[in-house]
Amino acid sequence: MSLEIAVSGINAISSQLDSISNNIANASSHGYKTGRTNFASLYVGAQAMGVGVSSRTQDIGRMGSMQSTGRMLDAAIDGSGFFITRGSDGADQYTRVGMFNADKDGFLVDGSSRRVQGYGVNIANGALGALGDLKIPSGQIPAMASSTLKYTGNLSTGWTTMTGAFSKDDPSTFNASTVSVVYDSRGDKHSLTQYFVRTGVDTVDVKYSLDGGLVGATTALTFDADGQLTGPSTAALDLGTPGGAAALTINADYAGTTLFAGESTTLANSVNGYASGVMTGVRIENNGNLVAQYSNGQRMAVGVIAIASFPNEAGLSPVSGASWVDSPASGVPIVSVPGNGKAGALASGVIEGSNVDMTSELVKLMSAQRSYQANTKVITAESQTMQALMQAI
């Protein structure tokens, strides 16, 4: 009987050595989770029959080290959760390895060419679409005509009150001017100049020119005794159809502008709109947004990477050291965006390394070797005892 018990020990320890060897071999594998062989005593009734392997588990919950790569499409999950990838067979696999690229069709894929799952983004309103394959748009984005102008500043009480006729070509007929770049529907740039003309103690007129020609109606800004703007705070500027483009209308916003003593200042002078642009790159942001970058300086979220969490992640079934599929023991995946609920936030430009503790594995290896040797000693002793018994007979 002792011979069979020792053999069972050798078989069990051989399985443990396989797990330890696999851990050591994958100490540098991205996203690998340490495996462990668990033992249990074998009994037939009350009779001990040795030891066997009760289960093989992975330490999924413990994070590996964060390794900086600087790649725009690398990301690691800082916390719990898994990236969702879908193979050509339509089956989902879950992984912690965020090493992504775009395939020839523009889909975001992992290192095994599985498509990364996420939410599309409605460019018009930012709303998230349905969960599915994340695709990076190619080509260019069209121009967007300017529609708003935000100006905030202080118009000095030290300005001279102008009494003569205004001329954009005569600086002595206005107190200050500022230039903004606006875009028409075709993406062509135009210079919109605002001329500030003080007409009274509490009034300043704003006149406009586009590419040197006067346009739009005059906006008369009025201020109270405390120098605060009383109206109007907005003005609609009809700038015509520059270069044959669509009619260009700008809504100017002067809220927050003041009439105080001292120097005149400009705190804000911004206009929306942009020329057309081609995509120059794409990156993953810490909030999970997949952001496309364009040659015109625009950055646009084109998708959000999804994160799956499980009621019992230890119940996931491994298909490799760094990929799993769900099982009845793991429960149904809970899918959300990074940082929401149980899902961890993303760290962009880094990937998760293995969580193998090399020192611990080497200690386990030495312990397993001693156990293996002890069991072989039992077999040797059993063999010698049987040989001595046979000689005695």
CATH of the domain at 154: 2.60.98.20
Last residue of one domain, picked from the residues 254, 271, 288? 271
Q: Write down the mean pLDDT value for the chain.
A: 92
pLDDT digits 0-9 by tens, 73-110: 999 999 999 999 999 999 999 999 999 999 999 999 99
H-state helical runs in the chain? 2-25, 358-392
Nearest to 68 by CA among 282, 351, 353, 355: 351
Single-letter amino acid code for the residue at 106: G
3-class SS at 24? helix
pLDDT at 50 over 90: no
Please check whether residues 373 and 344 belong to one and the same domain: no
Q: CA 123 from chain center: how many Å? A: 17
Domain boundary residue, one of 271, 288, 309: 271
Question: CA 125 to CA 21: how far, in whole Å?
Answer: 53
Identify whether residues 221 and 163 lie together within a single domain.
yes
Q: What is the rounded average pLDDT of the residues 287-312?
A: 93
Q: How far apart are CA 184 and CA 142, in angstroms?
A: 11
* 6 and 76 fall within a common domain: no
The verdict on 159 and 306 lying in the same domain is no
Query: Do 121 and 75 share a structural domain?
Result: yes
Tell me, yes or no, whether 235 and 196 share the same domain. yes
Question: What single-letter DSSP state applies at residue 74?
Answer: B
**What is the edge-to-edge ordering of all strands in the sheet holding 148-154?**
234-238, 249-253, 148-154, 265-271
pTM flag (> 0.85) = no
Mean pLDDT for 248-266 is 96
| In the predicted structure, residue 316 carries a pLDDT above the cut 90 | yes
- Per the CB < 8 A criterion, the answer to whether 298 and 187 are in contact is no
167 pLDDT above the threshold of 80:
yes
Q: For residues 236-265, b (16+ Cβ closer than 10 Å) or e, as one string?
A: ebebeebeebeebebebbbeebbbbeeebe
pLDDT of residue 277: 93
Same domain, 254 and 285: no
The b-or-e profile of 109-124 (16+ CB within 10 A means b, else e) is bbeeebbbbbbbbeee
Alpha carbons within 13 angstroms on the beta-carbon side of residue 101 total: 5
Half-sphere exposure of 279 (CA within 13 A, CB side): 15
- β-partners of residue 6 are none
CA distance linking residue 164 with residue 265, whole number of Å: 25
Report which of 129, 384, 159, 184 is spatially closest to residue 264, judged by C-alpha positions: 159
Examine the domain organization and report whether 26 and 127 are in the same domain: no
For residues 75 and 284, the answer to whether their CB atoms sit within 8 Å is yes
- Domain limits for position 127: 67-141+278-352
pLDDT for 378: 82
* Whole-number Å distance between alpha carbons of 259 and 221: 10
The confidence band for 382, taking pLDDT boundaries of 50, 70 and 90, is confident
Q: What phi and psi values does residue 136 have, to the nearest 5 degrees?
A: -90, 120
Q: At 164, phi and psi to the nearest 5?
A: -85, 180
pLDDT confidence of residue 49: 80
Q: 29-33, 79-83, 353-357, 389-393: lowest mean pLDDT where? A: 389-393
Q: How far is CA 143 from CA 140, 150, 165, 188, 292, in A?
A: 9, 20, 38, 9, 16
- Decide if pLDDT at 42 tops 90: no
CB neighbours of residue 41 within 10 Å: 11
Q: How many domains does the chain have?
A: 3
Maximum C-alpha span of the chain: 137
pLDDT value of residue 1:
61
Tens of pLDDT along 133-158? 999 888 788 999 999 999 999 999 99
Domain boundary, last residue among 217, 242, 271: 271
Same domain, 234 and 216: yes
**Distance from the first to the final alpha carbon of the chain:** 21
Q: What is the mean pLDDT of residues 353-379?
A: 90
Q: Do 72 and 186 reside in the same domain of the chain?
A: no
Looking at the fold, whether 185 and 261 belong to one and the same domain comes out as yes
| Closest to 60 (Cα-Cα) out of 392, 252, 322, 277 | 322
Tokens of 116: 């990364």
Q: If you average pLDDT over residues 37-52, what whole number do you get?
A: 84
Same domain for 243 and 184: yes
CB atoms within 10 A of CB 105: 11
Spatial separation of the C-alpha atoms in residues 162 and 169, rounded to whole Å: 15
Token pair, residue 225, equals: 């005794």
